[in-house]
Homo-oligomer: A and B are copies of this chain.
Amino acid sequence: MSVQKPSLKSVQKLFKTKKKKKPSHKIGLPPASLVFTGDKKQEEVFINLITYDENDFYEEIIKLDQLEDHLKLQKKVTWIDVIGLHDVDILEQIGLAFGIHKLTLEDILSVDQRPKMEVFEDYVFATLKMIQCPTPESPIDEEQVSFLLHDSVLITFQEKKGDVFQFVRDRLLDPKRAIRQRGADYLLYALLDAVIDNYFIVMENIGERIENLESQAMLEPGNETLNSLYLQRREMMDLRRSVYPLREVIGSFDKYAEHKISPEVRPFIRDLYENTIQVIETMEVFRDMSSGVLDLYMNSLSNRMNNIMKVLTIISTIFIPLSFVAGVYGMNFENMPELHWQNGYFYVLGVMGIAVLGMLFFFRRKNWL
Using a CB–CB distance below 8 Å, which chain A residues touch chain B?
1-2, 4-6, 11, 14-15, 18, 21, 23-25, 27-32, 101, 103, 106-107, 114, 116, 118, 167, 170-171, 177-179, 189-190, 193, 197-198, 200-201, 204, 211, 214-215, 218-220, 223, 226-227, 230, 233-234, 237-238, 240-241, 267-268, 270-271, 274-275, 277-278, 281, 285, 288-289, 292, 294-299, 301-313, 315-317, 319-324, 326-336, 338-345, 348-349, 367-369
Contact = CB atoms under 8 A, between A and B. Distances in A.
A292 B234 contact: yes
A333 B308 CA distance: 35
Contacts of A227: 218
A14 B275 CA distance: 28
A334 B339 contact: yes
A345 B336 contact: yes
Nearest to A114: B278
A313 B303 contact: no
A31 B334 contact: no
Given A15-B215, A230-B295, A311-B317, A204 B23 contact: yes
A296 B227 CA distance: 8
A32 B101 CA distance: 35
Main secondary structure of the interface of A (DSSP, over half): helix
B306 A312 contact: no
Given A219-B11, A324-B326, A332-B330, A301 B298 contact: no
A320 B315 contact: yes
Given A223-B303, A237-B285, 20 more contacts: A18-B211, A25-B197, A27-B200, A30-B178, A107-B271, A118-B270, A233-B292, A298-B299, A301-B306, A315-B317, A319-B323, A320-B320, A331-B339, A333-B339, A333-B341, A333-B345, A334-B339, A334-B344, A335-B343, A336-B345
Contacts of A305: 302, 305-306, 309
A27 B179 CA distance: 16
Given A6-B219, A312-B316, A344-B333, A303 B306 contact: no
